[in-house]
Amino acid sequence: MAETAPQGHFADVGGVCVHYHDIGTGPELVLLHGSGPGATGWSNYNRNVEALSAHFRLLIPDLPGFGLSDMKPVDASTPGWWSKVIVGLLDELGIEKAHFVGNSMGGMVTLKIALEQPGRIDRMLLMGPGGGHPVFSTWPTPGIINLIMAYEGEGITAEKVRGFISASLFNQAAVTDELVQQRLEAALDPRVVAQPPMRPGPGGPPEDLWRDARLTRLPHETLIVWGREDRVLPLDTGMILMKQIPRATLTVVPQCGHWVMWEQWAEFNRIALSFFGANS
């Protein structure tokens, strides 16, 4: 596993500077990260790059508002604005269609692209995606409240970052001081502190994609992957999406929280390679 990020690239997407990694060769596979404090494309997917890049050309962007990309405008819609930026990135790179993996908010962005421009996505793997609604669990969860309120009050702190990571993982021994510090350093970027990407603003709250009637007409082969012990977006959040998307299959990973690709990386790599046809 490559823990240290390699040199990335920058693209101008309609005046928005987007930082991304471009690794491997083969069919294009876009990996979209979630929205936790300090998240970046590389921090979410560094445990998957070696296995996946042996079969695919990986495009791993920092969603604007995170990492080295420009900030997300305060009045931008969620996830609509991000979905347009990612499609714009594909345009800049001359890519007509790609496979997608999206975790949490990245899953919501992937789903929005599928709804608005279905021809840009081949297969999609949605990993604990946003945009759904829990059937049984209390909503919003403490993990979501932590995420939305991370920069309020006294601002972002190590305690808040540790709380979100703890909610995201089943194995609490993995919540190390080093991991907390890495995320905290990214979360303390002065640009992000001044304009937190998940702070509620004029653009309104994130869309309830599960209410969109177009879900029942999506043509994509879809794999929904969920950690059984997810305490950020609980497992039953996926039930409505699974029932509505015609070609959707749900895979549940036990002893795993919100970061399936990170906490159960070997199992996730196996699932993803099989789903995207690397072993066929």
What does the pLDDT profile of the chain (280 residues) look like in tens digits? Answer: 556 889 999 999 999 999 999 999 999 999 999 999 999 999 999 999 999 999 999 999 999 999 999 999 999 999 999 999 999 999 999 999 999 999 999 999 999 999 999 999 999 999 999 999 999 999 999 999 999 999 999 999 999 999 999 999 999 999 999 999 999 999 999 999 999 999 988 888 899 999 999 999 999 999 999 999 999 999 999 999 999 999 999 999 999 999 999 999 999 999 999 999 986 4
Q: Which residue has the tokens 């991304």?
A: 20
φ, ψ dihedrals at 137, nearest 5°:
-75, 155
What token pair was written down for 240? 């409505």
Neighbours of 166 (CB within 10 A): 16
Helix 177-187 × helix 158-168 angle, to 10°: 120
- Is 9 an active-site residue? no
Question: Which domains occur in the chain, in start order?
Answer: 9-275 (3.40.50.1820)
| Contact yes or no for 248/223 (Cβ under 8 A) | yes
Catalytic residue among 19, 21, 55, 258: 258
Asked whether the beta carbons of 229 and 257 are under 8 A apart, the reply is yes
Helix (H) or strand (E) holding 179: helix 177-187
The answer to whether 225 and 268 are in contact (CB under 8 A) is yes
Question: pTM for the complete prediction?
Answer: 0.97
